[in-house]
Structure 1
Amino acid sequence: MGSQNIIIESSSDYCKTWSQYHEITALPLRIISERSFDIIQKDNNNFLIAYLQFPGKLAIFNYNIASTSLEQVGTAFTLSSGVQEIEFTFIDESTYLASLKDTGDNVFYTRSDDGALTWSTNHSFAGVLTGNRPIITSYHNGNLYAAIAEENKISLIVSPDKGVTWSAPFDVFLNDKPISNTSIHSDGEKLFVVFEEHIFVNQLDNYQTDVCYISSNNNGVDWSGKIKYTKYIRNDLISSIKLSGDRIIALVLSNRVNQERQDTYLGILAETIDPAPPAINWMDFPNPIDFDQDFQIQVFAYDETGINSVSVEFNHKVYTLYDDGNHEDFLAGDYIYGGTIDGVPTNTSLGPDKSKIIGLNNVQLPISNNGVIADISTAEKIRLAVKVIDTDQNEINRTANVYMGELSGRDGKYDGLNILFSGGFFLSGYSNNSLWFNAVSSSSLMVDYQAGNIGVNPTDPDNLIYSVLSGDTPFGHSWQDWKKAVDNGAYFYDGDNDGVYNPVDKNENGVWDPDEDKPDLLYDGVYFTSYNDGVPASERRFDTIEPKGIEIRQSIYASNRNSILDDVIFFRYSLLYKGLGNADEPDSLTDVYFSVWTDSDIGSADDDKAGCDTTLHSGYTYNNGSDQVFGENPPAFFKTIVQGPLVKTGNSADYGYNKFGPDIGINALQGYKNLGMTTFAPPHKNHYKLLDPRNPLEGRRYQEALYPFDGSEIDPCTFEFGEVRGGVNCVEVNNKFWFSGDPVTNYGWIGTFALDMRDLTTTGAFTLHKNEPMDIIVAYVVGRGIDYLNSIDRAREITQYVHEEYQRNFSTIVSVEDNNEELPAKFYLSQNYPNPFNPATKIKYTIGVVDENFRPLQTQLIVYDILGRKVKTLVNEVKAPGTYEITFDASQLASGVYLFRLSSGSFSQTKKMMVLK
């Protein structure tokens, strides 16, 4: 029953499968509860519906499922006041009996001999005046039967004249346990009395309930012994019993799956065998737990026939529990099973999830699978599964989440204290000369991205955050889970160069080797998820902007083995414009700006200031003195453009890079460059002149460092939110970088307001070409010194190191699972691929380590013709140890054989390649 309608599903194979769905909406239902109506199957197509129509009337309708027609039978009959429940009996085409119960628990019946045109006055059943349910009657071989329970006894009353008169009660069954909720039913051949039996369970020190029945094949003269229909050791309760054809269908309520909830189970009386599982009364274990700490678990499990085994699966291991008094299980034979579970090692992945917490180093960040950073309450958890098997091989399973206490909560934290309320980005550009804008900035009420790739349902169970940590077993669970990350666009190291991620230990030595595939593991952990701008316009804050078909593959990296990088989190945003397949959509999105957006709250939220450092391509947040949360030395929080988007320069001397670390290497593009920070602007949440953007145009203006309300240029000389200090000529200050001065020396353009700040560290403009990813690498850097100003200096030192680390292709700490493994010791020049080629080919080369300082070397990669004449210089710069890859375009060269030579330090190697046009 839904919304005062009746819903019917039909089955033609005795409830094995269900087909048609019928919703009866034409009834003038105004009923009190589901017990205020009853449905009887009259034949294959017709159902009689008897219901108590408010106020105080009984009505009968016939519903035909073949024609979906609904017709009233007879006329509505006025009942005595207070009638609430009904059980209906169809005796023949003209004779009906309605058994009723009122609010005073009085039970009685009325009957009709003329097809519900008229009804009798109320009559009492012989020997029964009150009850908690209406009495169910059953017509069998010319007699009408009713069953009555009293404590542990069942009696029958019989009517030979269709309910006009009744016999005196006579006993048919005496039980050794209390019984209740008795009813009688006929399948045409036998009579069945169904009842609930209440059994005292010593383990529970309480009663539990089973559903039982007795049967008679000679019209109730003789009866069988008790037969248990349900056998679960906890509670099974009768919900409804109905005749369907020649089968009696029983609906039973049971909490066998969830003790807090009763589910409905359907079966055929006298045919269905109950696979009664054992019961788990409780499980006890510490929650949350700490890393590297073993813990104990106890499970209270029992069964009517006996327990065969109790086991626990946790963190990919299975443990056997015991009830012998020797395994943290209290007393032997007390049904409490116990054991010790191994602790969770640090630096191991806890499995994919919709939200996770990055907690590898001093910076802790909750992240969500739709791009939201920090503004999400979550916890790292591992599923614990208990399995109990009884001696009949029936089993029950219970699961629970075990939370890691060190990785739970919300907000970005440093030293365990809040520094970030929410993080994300602004993204804007032009599509066919029309401005578009979207964002992930939850505290500004803009979350325009949803989990998963374009075209995938955002609720797809594979739209998760996938992680691999340095402590994970090579080729283990997290490496295998990475397959789904790769399906969603994650990078990987292709050891066998077949273009497919297949992490197999080919030589079965238990460690990773360079010719084997591995995840995109940089430093000590990688976290990957993908999301897209598919949130409909109607659900956005700016409801005029439709999705553009932009997908973002987000990878996050962190280190915990370097005292400097312990204060850094790296983000790789791989932007991919796929489009939505619309005929009028462009092949590229132009004049695109990407902004790192944060709502930084360093301790207290209302005492933060903002600034930027153009030499470090960073915007930052710092405190205006001491802080109530952090004390005398609150940290400074830098947001740094490490690798900006690629833009074409047309100058062959320029190179743009996409760096992946020493394993995957470097992609270098000639004639391109990477942009850095191009603007910085901090919206002020609580000031009416610099509010969060109220429309897409204001969002774009913030990215361009313009005044948001009218698009005018900011004048550092007059801008009321800052001052130009230290004798600097305010006219000469670049107004695209708000507050670019140095608060430590009080020199330059300094922000003067301490408020609840947001900030935008922007790079652009660039172009997103369809199906060509654009990778932008960002770093969150936190520095904490001896006071609030010294924290800025400390953050600058770390940020400078971050840029140097990028120049080294992130090679200070290698990302392999064996911590003793080093950077490449050998130099190597790979054969170009493809070869022969036209017009472009890729050349991969490796720069080895020459000393303990990982000293970079002057490196050249030059192409010569067959006569030794220089054709093109591909690389001529200092290179850190690592693996690199560059694309060589030979479209201007004639067909033939060419040479390419790698020179680095004292190493030199030459190989041949062929241009074939």
Structure 2
Amino acid sequence: MKDSGDNVFYTRSDDGALTWSTILSFPDIQYNSNPIITSYHKYNLYAAYEEGSKIFLTISPDKGVTWSAQLDVFTNNNPVSNVSIHSDGDNLFIVFEEHLYVDQLDDFQTDLCYKRSINNGENWSEKIKYTKSIANEYISEINFSSGKLYTTILSNRVNVNNSETYLGILDLTKDPAPPIVFWSEIPSSIDFDRDFTIRIFAIDETGIESVTAAYNDEVYTLYDDGNHGDDSAGDNIFGAIIPGFPSNFSFDPARSLAVAVNNIILPVYNNGVLASVNVAVTKGLTIDITDIDDNIVSRSKNIIYREISGSNGKYDGKNILFGGGFYISGFAGDLMWANTVTSGSLLIDYQAGLIGSDPKYPDNLVYSVRSDDPPFGKSWQNWNKSVEQGAYFYDGDGDGIYNPVDKNGNGVWDSNEDKPDILYDGVYFTVYNDGIPASERRFESIDPLGIEVRQSIYASYRNTILDDVVFIRYSLLYKGLGGPVEPDSLTKVYFSVFTDTDIGDASDDKPACDTTLHSGYIYNDGSDYVFGVNPPAVFKTVVQGPISKTGNSTDYGYNKFGPDIGIQSYQGYKNLGMTSFVAPQKSSPYLRDPYSPSSVRYYQHGLDNYGEKVDPCELVIGEVRGGLDCADVDSKFWFSGDPVTDYGWIYKNSMDARDMINTGPFDLVKNEPMDIIVAYVVGRGIDHLNSIDRAREITQYVHEEYQRNFSTLVSVEDKHEELPAKFYLSQNYPNPFNPATKINYTIGVVDENFRPLQTQLIVYDILGREVKTLVNEVKAPGTYEITFDASQLASGVYFYRFTSGNLVQTKKMILLR
């Protein structure tokens, strides 16, 4: 024992601890920093203790009545502490902590050591290191059991800031002594296409053989040479500069991903929620430190990609969409039903996966493939899981089975080989079903019907017009649940795109629709404190509506997949467009968000949520402007006027706007998919109204792109690249402009040799006089952009004429100073 003054003493008992002697002292020992531990071995009692770097032993032949003079066991070359002596029945062991100075740490490090005696303490072995890691290790306990000395040790070898307990057997357990990591620097978040530095400070007693980092399927070596961001050579700080992750490659499947192909960032969850999900898109990085004895220690971290992580849909890095989703309603026999994924209204009736599957099943993920991913690589193989869940694919060999194999071994995709459904530059797929029980829904009267939604999102980054567009294919499949009375079809079905669009500041937005473009949209009331003087407008347009039977043999409905998969046509049908548009108001009693199946249905017919027709001239939140007769306004399309010209039915206030773009009716026949394609379009001009014009131009292009089966960028097998199939001249942007504007034009492929064509782009004034030649040269097929600087010209109307191949096209632009 010892007291608070480090006075060492003991007491003994000869009657089994019934009585104890008075306090006794060891000879030659009056002070010690720790209590002295004694050990009984072969009829003698042993005690060991330290003074500085020396270890001493004293022996009692009579159970502690008398003690020998102190015996010098050995003098260590480093300070020692916490000395104790133990017996395993055959041998004696003196165990102690040794303190070594480590230059790289500029501090002391503690090891556990021992000496062994096989002849009752007369002779002792050389010092034996029990722990060998360059960490701090301390004796916790040593206990004798079944002929062995079991040790528990406190060590910070895994985390230098925390000690953990380790168990071993003295003289038997061998310490693997892996390297110890004192700190590592791995960034928590990075940007695309930007190199970053990693560093790690690691020491090993025997020496470090190598330090490597595994990241993005590559292995990189870290160096301690002073040339790789690692400070000075030989300081045990290892570093490497890691190439940034390319922005044009896909990420591994996950429950949530961000569609991040072009200027729009759209988070997606595996139950159909858009935007209002917090996505953390990460890649793991692992550093392995290997010592000369082949012991390995690792440090890992998931690195977040800042640009595509977080929540909300974004454009130019700023929020434009709080939440996106849909409503569906219809009849199952005589039962009217409605269900939804509208996270902005806290209504989610769909869960991840196929009907009947566990939503938490590990394959119920969002899968992505990018056009720049290696052919037949990991993302192409992962698409197998998507196909199992209903995703489309290009069946190159026509066997009906998705099997992406490089049949001729040339390392590139050929037209007789399978590939994923990659439209443009990226596809993101997930499947979900209406399996949420009625008791867990807001609409508690509606049970699951057995509807699956196979959702594919496409985007392009190589067409400057489509850089501001995201396409969503909703493939609706009514499977049913196998009930004895369930109908063969769901009839009079309506589908609605519902969004809670927040353009920067959510409080200054306005809803509107454009019936000629089958679009609803949200625009800003003026300047926005987030986006500034030119906040964007956000359109949602029905690109391919559901097909509805007409019975007329001259009518055709279409399901278009792009140039690779082609077009399905249905005689006697037609594709519906936007059939109504409404803008629910959060604070209005009769125009609030849908709160029941009937209110959903009313809104889908363009009525208020009581089922009453809206009078454009009586609705207090809007007014009909420009002298238009209210009788000429179609009340199913709320706020269908033009805010740019201030003509027609215009929304008066500004608010946190929501909108529903509706299409129907149509039937969902059991096991026959119905594909609906919508597009989210963002236009940003020189001010809030010009942004509407810009968004209209892009939306018009989107509809034209659908008419040509999304063929502006088509697969060209021989060149293994994407080239436009048709010619196109875009409206200049911005327009009006001052003093510069941009003009995009597309030169199409005219023959199998991809022949370049003489191309001209010339500006004329209103009298037809040539003002400036912008292009006059032979140009290869592709999409181009040129800037027209009119700083030397007077205000007025100008025309620009595009000539290439057999195409001659002219458009008007306005210079407004």
Whether these two folds match at TM > 0.5 is: yes
**What amino acid sits opposite 2:391 in the alignment?**
A
Confirm or deny: 8 A CA contact 1:346 1:471 kept in the other structure: no
1:366 matched residue in structure 2? 267
1:692 matched residue in structure 2? 593
Confirm or deny: 8 A CA contact 1:598 1:759 kept in the other structure: yes
Structure 2 CA distance, aligned partners of 1:168 and 1:713?
Answer: 110
Is 1:503 matched up with 2:404?
yes
1:763 matched residue in structure 2? 663
Is 1:681 matched up with 2:590?
no
Q: Percent identity?
A: 62
Moved more, 678-687 or 263-272: 263-272
Q: What aligned pairs does 1:320-469 form with structure 2 within 5 A after superposition?
A: 320-378=221-279, 380-429=281-330, 437-454=338-355, 457-469=358-370
Q: How far apart are residue 759 of structure 1 and its match? A: 1.6
Confirm or deny: 8 A CA contact 1:308 1:389 kept in the other structure: yes
2:694 matched residue in structure 1? 794
CA shift in 2, pair 1:212/1:773, >3 Å: farther
TM-score by length of 1: 0.68
2:674 matched residue in structure 1? 774
Q: How far apart are residue 391 of structure 1 and its match? A: 0.9
> Does 1 or 2 have the higher relative contact order (CA < 8 Å, sep 6+)?
2
Q: What aligned pairs does 1:148-163 form with structure 2 within 5 A after superposition?
A: none
1:809 matched residue in structure 2? 709
Structure 1 CA distance, aligned partners of 2:91 and 2:276?
Answer: 65
Out of 683, 686, 696, the residue aligned to residue 783 of structure 1 is: 683
Moved more, 457-466 or 382-391: 457-466
Q: How far apart are residue 778 of structure 1 and its match? A: 1.5
Moved more, 124-133 or 497-506: 124-133
Q: What's the secondary structure of 2:686's corresponding residue?
A: coil
2:134 matched residue in structure 1? 233
1:300 matched residue in structure 2? 201
Structure 2 CA distance, aligned partners of 1:598 and 1:492?
Answer: 29
Moved more, 588-597 or 538-547: 538-547
Moved more, 136-145 or 742-751: 136-145
Is 1:655 matched up with 2:556?
yes
2:767 matched residue in structure 1? none
Confirm or deny: 8 A CA contact 1:126 1:167 kept in the other structure: no
Q: What's the secondary structure of 2:404's corresponding residue?
A: coil
Q: How far apart are residue 807 of structure 1 and its match? A: 1.8
Is 1:636 matched up with 2:636?
no
Structure 2 CA distance, aligned partners of 1:504 and 1:145?
Answer: 76
Is 1:483 matched up with 2:384?
yes
1:877 matched residue in structure 2? none
Structure 2 CA distance, aligned partners of 1:707 and 1:165?
Answer: 102
**What amino acid sits opposite 1:724 in the alignment?**
V
1:750 matched residue in structure 2? 650
Q: Deviations over 1:302-357 (max 9, x none)?
A: 21111112222333322223333444444332223334433444422344444433
Structure 1 CA distance, aligned partners of 2:600 and 2:19?
Answer: 77
Structure 2 CA distance, aligned partners of 1:307 and 1:315?
Answer: 25
2:460 matched residue in structure 1? 559
Q: How far apart are residue 568 of structure 1 and its match? A: 0.5
1:890 matched residue in structure 2? none
Q: Deviations over 1:117-167 (max 9, x none)?
A: x988999897799999999888877889887777656678999999x9897
Q: Deviations over 1:604-624 (max 9, x none)?
A: 211111112233222110112
2:774 matched residue in structure 1? none
**What amino acid sits opposite 2:398 in the alignment?**
N
Q: What's the secondary structure of 1:280's corresponding residue?
A: strand
CA shift in 2, pair 1:378/1:706, >3 Å: same
CA shift in 2, pair 1:509/1:733, >3 Å: same
**What amino acid sits opposite 1:757 in the alignment?**
A
Structure 1 CA distance, aligned partners of 2:195 and 2:556?
Answer: 53
Q: What's the secondary structure of 2:368's corresponding residue?
A: strand
Confirm or deny: 8 A CA contact 1:107 1:124 kept in the other structure: no
**What amino acid sits opposite 1:786 in the alignment?**
I
Structure 2 CA distance, aligned partners of 1:417 and 1:673?
Answer: 38
Q: Deviations over 1:6-55 (max 9, x none)?
A: xxxxxxxxxxxxxxxxxxxxxxxxxxxxxxxxxxxxxxxxxxxxxxxxxx
Q: What's the secondary structure of 2:694's corresponding residue?
A: helix
Structure 1 CA distance, aligned partners of 2:39 and 2:281?
Answer: 57
Q: What's the secondary structure of 2:467's corresponding residue?
A: helix
CA shift in 2, pair 1:173/1:630, >3 Å: same
Structure 2 CA distance, aligned partners of 1:139 and 1:400?
Answer: 51
Q: How far apart are residue 637 of structure 1 and its match? A: 0.7
Is 1:514 matched up with 2:415?
yes
Q: How far apart are residue 189 of structure 1 and its match? A: 5.6
Q: Deviations over 1:524-574 (max 9, x none)?
A: 122223344455666655666665554433221111222221111111223
Confirm or deny: 8 A CA contact 1:211 1:229 kept in the other structure: yes
Q: Deviations over 1:556-594 (max 9, x none)?
A: 111122222111111122334455677786666555443
Structure 2 CA distance, aligned partners of 1:758 and 1:236?
Answer: 63
CA shift in 2, pair 1:824/1:600, >3 Å: closer
Structure 2 CA distance, aligned partners of 1:645 and 1:340?
Answer: 52
CA shift in 2, pair 1:132/1:509, >3 Å: farther
TM-score by length of 2: 0.76
Q: What aligned pairs does 1:489-638 form with structure 2 within 5 A after superposition?
A: 489-534=390-435, 549-578=450-479, 589-638=490-539
Moved more, 174-183 or 393-402: 174-183
Structure 2 CA distance, aligned partners of 1:509 and 1:235?
Answer: 56
Structure 2 CA distance, aligned partners of 1:102 and 1:431?
Answer: 86
**What amino acid sits opposite 2:316 in the alignment?**
D
Structure 1 CA distance, aligned partners of 2:69 and 2:598?
Answer: 85
Q: How far apart are residue 240 of structure 1 and its match? A: 6.2
**What amino acid sits opposite 2:468 in the alignment?**
D
**What amino acid sits opposite 1:324 in the alignment?**
D
2:624 matched residue in structure 1? 724
Q: How far apart are residue 431 of structure 1 and its match? A: 5.5
Is 1:736 matched up with 2:636?
yes
Q: How far apart are residue 260 of structure 1 and its match? A: 5.7
**What amino acid sits opposite 2:694 in the alignment?**
R
CA shift in 2, pair 1:312/1:736, >3 Å: same
Moved more, 472-481 or 222-231: 222-231
Q: How far apart are residue 521 of structure 1 and its match? A: 1.3
Structure 2 CA distance, aligned partners of 1:702 and 1:185?
Answer: 85
Moved more, 468-477 or 518-527: 468-477
Structure 2 CA distance, aligned partners of 1:157 and 1:581?
Answer: 87
Q: What's the secondary structure of 2:344's corresponding residue?
A: helix
Unaligned runs of 5+ in 1: 1-98, 826-847, 855-917
Confirm or deny: 8 A CA contact 2:524 2:537 kept in the other structure: yes
Confirm or deny: 8 A CA contact 1:679 1:736 kept in the other structure: yes
Structure 1 CA distance, aligned partners of 2:486 and 2:38?
Answer: 70
Q: How far apart are residue 459 of structure 1 and its match? A: 4.7
Structure 1 CA distance, aligned partners of 2:21 and 2:639?
Answer: 89
Confirm or deny: 8 A CA contact 1:600 1:757 kept in the other structure: yes
Q: How far apart are residue 196 of structure 1 and its match? A: 4.7
Q: What's the secondary structure of 1:737's corresponding residue?
A: coil
Q: What aligned pairs does 1:185-264 form with structure 2 within 5 A after superposition?
A: 196-215=97-116, 224-236=125-137, 250=151, 252=153, 254-259=155-160
CA shift in 2, pair 1:693/1:186, >3 Å: farther
**What amino acid sits opposite 1:208 in the alignment?**
Q
Moved more, 191-200 or 386-395: 191-200
Confirm or deny: 8 A CA contact 1:428 1:435 kept in the other structure: yes
Confirm or deny: 8 A CA contact 1:427 1:592 kept in the other structure: yes
1:12 matched residue in structure 2? none
